[in-house]
């Protein structure tokens, strides 16, 4: 059944729609792939084989009954374990939620089910999406199919590993400061962070609410775009979701695949280069930019001076919102409870549970956030960070007055080895350098594989104005079309 | 000069209801000092006339129609509770024995 797992989501959906293959056989092929590879990869926290096969059977029954199937019906998908799923354990890779069975589906899961996609299970992540390597997971790190000693990125590293290793053609991730784009870059696949508010947050376990955004992973730009269209759109259950038309991203991917960028101006962010950027990454990006120029785009340099402060602003804003959001884990209504001997006080049970249930990185961020929000420090830290956010947004507005999209590396480095960085929080934070500005400004950004550095994949990040997600997909599809063979084809066999 | 002391970290952990151990305090005090020193550059970037951005996309207040809807089933919700009694969440005592 290897033929099924190597196909794109669009191709698989075609086979189901015309009756060449059953959703059950396609689903079983992917479940078999998970069985044969996940001991090495640790991409999944939970595999729901029974549920997946039942969903697949339902799609096959709909087709047999002569129903017109939605575009991705019968296609398996992996879902990051921070997205709540009715009846399926949802942990956020935290000991504090282990064993929690949510009583409802996130809006995006409801949309996946309505569209006939087949959820295979829940993927690993850094605890509560806080991290860049999956090393902060309570279930151990996921591994990169390109090199099992390296990270598949984070926080959505289980999702990126699953798609890159052909365990699933599609996956859902969430991105607060780069957690879709960076893992996509490090595993040689496509990942998109939609415009803030473009996809409902209802049913995502909140980390930093003004930044959190769910989005698609795929091995092709078109696959990611097709999934984007399934999950996007207004949701009354999320008051920050935009009540505006969803950008036509699948059409944009098809147009971009023709490889003609005539009339487009592409800005290269000069501030996202220099010291700390690996030479192999820099040269792969430069070669890709030259390729974009060959396809008819006009290329200009764009200074964005306040991007230099994005790291500092992010690591104040995100922990501040996290310290508030994670107050809900109080040992009272769901999740872990430690030390309740009917004598201990509520406060002792709460504090003991939170110490036992949260990992070190989550505790660090809660404490930093508590500090940044406390009286006497609020203006100097949180207040200033929110002002810097304004300045970063202005940099984007200025840049987009002269160009249609901005490009940069997605990550300054390729996939790094598990271990060394995990002990040094600031070294780990620094790998998010390129993805943070788009998060703080709420603009859409995609990562598309564009080459190799020392045999490991490099991703190009393409950023666009609010609700111009289609431009990200158009340029990404042009990059994809310009490659002689897909970057992922160079990955070793598992 | 350190930006944050071990005692301050202990106080913040208490405010955040984290019963951290002495070992954790030793580690966190050093790490948080490094992190806060690294982000301190932010203090001088923005002038007083720059307005803060709280959300990336402008938000307006959203109201829904005041109509009854369906809620989650009580017993289903209580299945996830660490402790439940008589159709309610059971919580530890809130007052100290002396109070």
- What are the tens digits of pLDDT across the range A69-116? 999 999 999 999 999 999 999 999 999 999 999 999 999 999 999 999
Q: Which residue of A has its CA nearest to B64?
A: A236
Domains and CATH numbers, chain A: 2-258 (3.90.1300.10)
**A151 HSE (CA, 13 A, CB side):** 34
Of A315, A335, A352, the CB nearest to B39: A315
- Helix, coil or strand: residue A357: helix
Q: For residue A160, indicate whether it is catalytic.
A: no
Q: Which of A371, A389, A422 to mutate to test the interface with B (most CBs of B within 10 A)?
A: A371
Give residue B44's pLDDT band: very low, low, confident or very high (50, 70, 90): confident
Is the CB of B24 less than 8 angstroms away from the CB of A345? Answer: no
| Banded model confidence at residue B97, pLDDT cuts 50, 70, 90 | low
pLDDT level of residue A215 (50, 70, 90 thresholds): very high
How many residue pairs bridge chain A and chain B with CB atoms within 8 Å of each other?
181
Q: Is B29 on the interface with A (CB under 8 A)?
A: no
Distance from CA of A41 to the nearest CA of B (A): 30
Average pLDDT, chain A: 96
Q: Using alpha carbons, select from A65, A59, A63 the residue that is nearest to residue A23.
A: A59
Please write the tens of the pLDDT for every residue from B20-42. Answer: 999 999 999 999 999 999 898 88
Residue with tokens 């991409």: A43
Q: What is the mean pLDDT of residues A277-300?
A: 97
Who's near B99: CB < 8 A, 6+ residues apart? none
Specify the pLDDT at position B2. 67
Instruction: Give the gyration radius of chain B's Cα atoms.
Output: 23
Residue A112, burial from CB neighbour count under 10 angstroms (0-12, 13-18, 19+): buried
- pLDDT of B41: 84
Say if residues A254 and A222 touch (Cβ distance below 8 Å): yes
**Per the CB < 8 Å rule, is A312 touching B42?**
yes
Q: Which two tokens stand for residue A293?
A: 């120029």
Residue A5 C-alpha, separation from nearest chain B C-alpha, in angstroms:
36
Contacts of A360 in chain B (CB under 8 A): 24, 27
Phi/psi at A200 (nearest 5 deg)? -60, 140
The residue-averaged pLDDT of A174-189 equals: 98
Report the DSSP beta bridge partners of residue A144: A147
Neighbours of A339 (CB within 10 A): 18
Q: Answer whether A380 sits within 8 Å of B43, measured CB to CB.
A: yes
Percent of chain A whose pLDDT exceeds 90: 95
Are residues B18 and A101, on separate chains, in Cβ contact within 8 Å? no
- Number of C-beta neighbours around residue A264 at 10 A: 20
Q: What is the pTM of this model?
A: 0.97
Catalytic residue among A159, A179, A323, A439: A179
DSSP secondary structure string, A105-117?
Answer: --HHHHHHHHTT-
Euclidean distance between CA atoms A326 and A335, whole angstroms:
12
Has residue B99 got a pLDDT over 60?
A: no
pLDDT single digits (tens) A379-420: 889 999 999 999 999 999 999 999 999 999 999 999 999 998
What H or E segment, with its residue span, contains residue A460? strand A456-463
Rg of chain A on CA atoms, in Å = 21
Interface test with A, best of B18, B78, B79 (most A CBs within 10 A): B18
What pLDDT score does A1 carry? Answer: 45
pLDDT at B13: 97
Would residue A142 be called left, alpha or beta, if left means φ above 0 and alpha means ψ between -120 and 50 degrees? beta
Contact between chains at B12 and A374 (C-beta distance less than 8 A)? yes
The residues spanned by each domain of chain B are 6-44
| B92 to A385: CB separation less than 8 angstroms, yes or no | no
Question: Which chain A residues are closer than 8 Å to B76 by Cβ?
Answer: 103
A382 by DSSP, 3-state: which?
helix
Q: Are A475 and A201 spatial neighbours (Cβ–Cβ below 8 Å)?
A: no
Q: Are the C-beta atoms of A156 and A173 separated by less than 8 Å?
A: yes
Residues B77, B82, B88, B93, CA torsion sign: negative
Distance (Å) from the C-alpha of residue A285 to the closest C-alpha of chain B? 28
Q: Is A80 a catalytic residue?
A: yes
| Enclosing H/E stretch for A450 | strand A445-453
Task: Tell me the pLDDT band of B57, cut-offs 50, 70 and 90.
Answer: confident
Q: Rounded to whole angstroms, how far apart are CA atoms A20 and A5?
A: 15
The answer, for B60 touching chain A at a CB cutoff of 8 Å, is: no
| Cα-based distances in Å from A300 to A191, A404, A445, B8, B75 | 25, 11, 18, 48, 61
The yes-or-no verdict on residue A126 having pLDDT over 80 is: yes
3-class DSSP state for residue A456?
strand
**Is the CB of B16 less than 8 angstroms away from the CB of A370?**
yes
Rounded to whole angstroms, how far apart are CA atoms A153 and A20? 36
Interface check for B33 against chain A (CB to CB < 8 A): the answer is: no
A355-385 CB burial, b ≥16 within 10 A, e <16: bebbbbbbbbbbbbbbbbbbeebeeebbbbb
What residue of B is the nearest CA neighbor of A346? B92
What residues of A are in contact with residue B13 (Cβ under 8 Å)?
Answer: 363, 367
Burial of residue A345 (number of CB atoms within 10 Å: 0-12, 13-18, 19+): middle
Q: Under DSSP, is residue A26 helix (H, G, I), strand (E, B) or coil?
A: helix
Among all residues of chain A, which has the CA nearest to that of B54? A386
A240: burial class by Cβ within 10 Å (0-12, 13-18, 19+)? buried
CB A15 within 8 A of CB A36: no
| Active-site residue, A185 included | no
Residue B1: pLDDT over 60? no
CA–CA separation, A84 vs A109, rounded Å? Answer: 8
A178 within 8 A of A132, measured Cβ to Cβ: yes
- Of A127, A175, A229, nearest to A410 by C-alpha is A175
**For chain B, what is the mean pLDDT?**
88
Classify burial at A198, counting beta carbons within 10 Å of its beta carbon; exposed 0-12, middle 13-18, buried 19 or more: buried
Give me the residues paired with residue A23 across strands: none
């Amino acid at each position: 059944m290897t033929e099924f797992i190597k196909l794109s989501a669009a191709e698989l959906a075609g086979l189901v729609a015309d009756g060449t293959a059953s959703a059950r056989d396609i689903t079983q092929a992917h479940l078999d792939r998970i069985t044969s590879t996940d001991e090495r990869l640790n991409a999944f926290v939970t595999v729901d084989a029974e549920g997946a096969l039942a969903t697949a059977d339902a799609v096959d029954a709909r087709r047999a009954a002569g129903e017109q199937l939605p575009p991705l019906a019968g296609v398996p998908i992996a879902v990051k374990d921070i997205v709540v799923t009715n009846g399926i354990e949802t942990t956020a890779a935290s000991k504090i939620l282990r064993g929690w069975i949510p009583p409802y589906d996130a809006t995006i899961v409801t949309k996946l089910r309505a569209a006939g996609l087949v959820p295979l299970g829940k993927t690993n992540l850094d605890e509560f999406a806080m991290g860049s390597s999956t090393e902060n997971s309570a279930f151990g790190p996921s591994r990169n199919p390109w090199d099992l000693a390296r990270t598949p990125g984070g926080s959505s590293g289980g999702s990126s590993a699953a798609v890159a290793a052909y365990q699933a053609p599609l996956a859902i991730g969430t991105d607060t400061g780069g957690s879709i784009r960076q893992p996509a870059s490090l595993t040689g696949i496509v990942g998109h962070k939609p415009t803030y508010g473009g996809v409902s947050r209802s049913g995502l376990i909140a980390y930093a609410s003004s930044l959190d955004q769910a989005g698609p992973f795929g091995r092709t730009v078109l696959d990611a775009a097709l999934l984007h269209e399934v999950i996007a759109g207004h949701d009354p259950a999320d008051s920050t979701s935009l009540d505006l038309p969803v950008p036509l991203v699948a059409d944009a991917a098809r147009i971009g695949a023709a490889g003609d960028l005539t009339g487009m101006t592409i800005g290269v962010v000069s501030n996202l280069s220099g010291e700390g950027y690996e030479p192999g990454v820099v040269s792969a990006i430069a070669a890709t930019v030259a390729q974009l120029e060959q396809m008819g785009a006009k290329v200009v340099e764009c200074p964005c001076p306040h991007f230099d402060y994005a790291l500092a602003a992010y690591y104040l804003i995100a922990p501040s919102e996290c310290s508030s959001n994670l107050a809900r884990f109080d040992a009272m209504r769901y999740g872990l409870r430690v030390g309740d001997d009917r004598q201990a006080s509520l406060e002792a049970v709460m504090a003991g549970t939170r110490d036992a249930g949260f990992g070190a990185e989550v505790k660090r961020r809660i404490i930093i956030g508590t500090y940044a929000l406390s009286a006497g420090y609020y203006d100097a830290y949180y207040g200033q960070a929110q002002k810097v956010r304004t300045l970063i947004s202005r940099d984007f507005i200025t840049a987009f007055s002269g160009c249609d999209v901005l490009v940069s590396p997605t990550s300054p480095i390729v996939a790094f080895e598990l271990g060394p960085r995990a002990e040094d929080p600031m070294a780990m934070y620094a790998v998010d350098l390129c993805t943070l500005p788009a998060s703080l400004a709420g603009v859409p950004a995609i990562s598309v594989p564009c080459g190799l550095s020392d045999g490991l994949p490099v991703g190009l990040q393409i950023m666009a104005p609010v609700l111009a997600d289609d431009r990200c997909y158009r340029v990404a599809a042009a990059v994809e079309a310009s490659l002689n063979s897909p970057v992922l084809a160079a990955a070793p066999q598992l | 000069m350190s930006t944050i002391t071990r005692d301050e970290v202990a106080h913040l952990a208490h405010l955040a209801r984290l019963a951290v151990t002495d070992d954790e305090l030793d580690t966190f005090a050093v790490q948080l000092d490094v992190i806060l020193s690294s982000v301190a550059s932010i203090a001088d970037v923005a002038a007083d006339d720059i307005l803060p951005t709280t959300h990336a996309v402008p938000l307006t207040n959203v109201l829904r129609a005041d109509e009854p809807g369906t809620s989650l089933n009580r017993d289903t919700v209580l299945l996830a509770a660490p402790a439940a009694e008589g159709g309610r969440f059971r919580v530890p005592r809130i007052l100290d024995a002396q109070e």
